[in-house]
A and B are shown apart, each in its own frame.
Chain A
Amino acid sequence: AQSVTQLDSQVPVFEEAPVELRCNYSSSVSVYLFWYVQYPNQGLQLLLKYLSGSTLVESINGFEAEFNKSQTSFHLRKPSVHISDTAEYFCAVIGGGSNYKLTFGKGTLLTVNP
């Protein structure tokens, strides 16, 4: 069975500071990895995904994540955050024999303070 661990439940940072949200997964076979973002009182939106190819993937609003197979990690980074990045971020994985079900981490609440 797959599992996803988000190592920090809350990450407070100041505006314009860099941030890294950590995600580790456990699976012995090929996986596809996702980061979703949930703004307050909204549903989840896809932020970025790794399916194959380049291990570094980017979003349109400046986030990036790197797939590291040897460390089974998919950490999310942004070099300079904005107040509007305040949200909950979920790492998710699909694969490992089941292409139907997405397994989510428990989420990291990113709070950007002025």
Chain B
Amino acid sequence: NAGVTQTPKFRVLKTGQSMTLLCAQDMNHEYMYWYRQDPGMGLRLIHYSVGEGTTAKGEVPDGYNVSRLKKQNFLLGLESAAPSQTSVYFCASRDRGPYEQYFGPGTRLTVT
């Protein structure tokens, strides 16, 4: 039981390049989330999904897109990376209750 895994762990992009971050969970959870963590800002919700085939915007969705084609996977895409997207990205999942979220180990992204 691997829990929540994220791929890749580290990535460096040039401004304007695109990439996709993959989150996978093996707990059969309904809800999945993408957050970004920046110093002094805590965790901010980018997008989330309440089930396969559904997505919704969070607090800071601009510049990101997501897809949830399979229940176990939640993809975060950056179509044209900007230096402001330099951050640590965390994926999380949870079941319908009792509301605890399980986090992945994070992806550290640097955009130069």
Residues of A within 8 A of B99 (CB): 32, 34, 49, 51, 94, 99, 102
| B13 contacts chain A at the CB level, 8 A cutoff | no
Contact with A along B47-58 (1 / 0, CB 8 A): 010100000101
Quote the shortest CB–CB distance from B101 to chain A (angstroms).
6
**Among B14-22, B35-43, B64-72, B73-81, the stretch in contact with A:** B35-43
Chain A interface size band reads 20 to 34
How many inter-chain residue pairs (CB < 8 Å) link A and B?
50
Top-8 shortest CB links A-B = A106-B42, A43-B103, A44-B103, A104-B43, A104-B42, A43-B105, A107-B42, A32-B99
Tell me the bound Cα distance from A32 to B94 in angstroms: 14
Q: A44-B90, A90-B42 are in contact. Are A102 and B101 (CB under 8 A)?
A: yes
Taking a contact as CB atoms closer than 8 A, the residue among B40, B92, B105 that contacts A9 in the complex is B40
Residues of A within 8 A of B50 (CB): 100
Chain B interface size band reads 20 to 34
Q: Is there contact, CB below 8 Å, between A101 and B48?
A: yes
Chain A residues touching B, majority SS:
strand
Q: Is there contact, CB below 8 Å, between B40 and A106?
A: yes
Residues of A within 8 A of B33 (CB): 102
Q: A9-B40, A51-B98 are in contact. Are A45 and B45 (CB under 8 A)?
A: no
| A46 contacts chain B at the CB level, 8 A cutoff | yes
Tell me the bound Cα distance from A34 to B100 in angstroms: 8
Indicate the member of A36, A43, A90, A105 with the most B CB atoms within 10 Å.
A43
Tell me the bound Cα distance from A2 to B49 in angstroms: 20
Q: Is there contact, CB below 8 Å, between A100 and B106?
A: no
